[in-house]
Structure 1
Amino acid sequence: MLPVIVACEIGFWVLLVAGLAARYVLRARRLSTVLLLAVPAVDVVLLAVALIDLLNGGTADPAHGLAAVYIGTSVAFGPQMIGWADQRFAHRFAGGPPPVKPPRTGPAHAARERRLWTRHLLAYVIGAAVLGVFTALVGDLDRVRPLWSVLGVWTVVLVIDFVISFSYTLFPRR
């Protein structure tokens, strides 16, 4: 499962860079659109591979749980990552404005950190839902229990991220 996750991460970035290069370097709008629309297909491929593996009797392990984490993170943060890359490509290859730098201090920084934590929470909810779908489709709680171990670690990370992100609201950077 881990090689599939790595391949999907590589596929995400290859399709994204190819789509943006087609748009800004080659000026091939249609090709760019096709490549950029294929980016979410990477998540579908990962989801399908994980489900097929589990439904065919594959041993459920934390790697399957990691696939759920990847899907949740990709759905929650994917548009933001694409926008980040698009700004840089537009600036570098099409004379677009320089990328917007995020605020580093004050209330604007605190608000940005809260928004990012909310995205993290969304990723967590989506990942947990994917784990729930895996569990329901496999139908054997004992067999899928190991993939839920990922959620325990992720919960701790989410809580730490909450404390850090919201601390800027109480104690803003100067």
Structure 2
Amino acid sequence: MSGDAKTVARDDYRIACAKPRVGRPLNRSRKVDARNMRIFIAYLIGSALLLGMIAWIGNATRTEVLLAAVKWWSIITVIDFAYSFSFTLWPRKAKRDSSPD
């Protein structure tokens, strides 16, 4: 039993004293770019379906809500892209270690 307690204490020490990994900003921006591409493809498919329904129905008064949804979705997608792209232009700075070592 005492061997198990020592192992647990040693593992806790390793976890508590481990230095955080600092990822490369370009690696993070590549992941964000891949996520943005998936969002953009989903946006294109969804907008095409909504616009197709609007064209199929052909009545502007009955489909104005669908058109408003496409407009809002477009605005939200542009804001999301701008926010995500800002991390590519201005990556976060690495946190400084506060220990006196």
TM range (shorter): 0.5 to 0.7
Instruction: Determine which of 40, 45, 62 is the counterpart of 1:143.
Output: 62
Q: What CA RMSD, in Å, does the superposition of the two structures yield over aligned residues? A: 2.0
Aligned to 1:127: 46
Taking the aligned partners of 1:111 and 1:163, their CA distance within structure 2 comes to: 15
Taking the aligned partners of 2:65 and 2:59, their CA distance within structure 1 comes to: 12
TM-score (norm 2): 0.61
Larger radius of gyration: 2
Mapping for residues 36-51 of structure 1, pairs under 5 Å: none
As a proportion of its length, which structure holds more helix? 1
Task: Identify unmatched segments of 5+ residues in structure 1.
Answer: 1-102
Taking the aligned partners of 2:38 and 2:24, their CA distance within structure 1 comes to: 20
* 8 Å Cα contact 2:29/2:88 also seen in 1: yes
Aligned to 1:62: none
Aligned residue pairs: how many? 72
> In structure 1, what residue type is equivalent to 2:78?
V
Aligned to 1:118: 37
Would you identify which runs of 4 or more consecutive aligned residues in structure 1 move more than 6 Å?
none
Task: Identify unmatched segments of 5+ residues in structure 2.
Answer: 1-21, 95-101
What do residues 40-96 of structure 1 show as CA deviations (whole Å, max 9, x unaligned)?
xxxxxxxxxxxxxxxxxxxxxxxxxxxxxxxxxxxxxxxxxxxxxxxxxxxxxxxxx
Mapping for residues 41-120 of structure 1, pairs under 5 Å: 105-120=24-39
> In structure 1, what residue type is equivalent to 2:63?
V
* 8 Å Cα contact 1:110/1:168 also seen in 2: yes
Taking the aligned partners of 1:105 and 1:159, their CA distance within structure 2 comes to: 26
> In structure 2, what residue type is equivalent to 1:143?
R
* 8 Å Cα contact 1:117/1:162 also seen in 2: yes
* 8 Å Cα contact 2:54/2:67 also seen in 1: no
What do residues 106-137 of structure 1 show as CA deviations (whole Å, max 9, x unaligned)?
10101111111121111111111001221122
Instruction: Determine which of 75, 87, 98 is the counterpart of 1:156.
Output: 75
TM-score (norm 1): 0.37
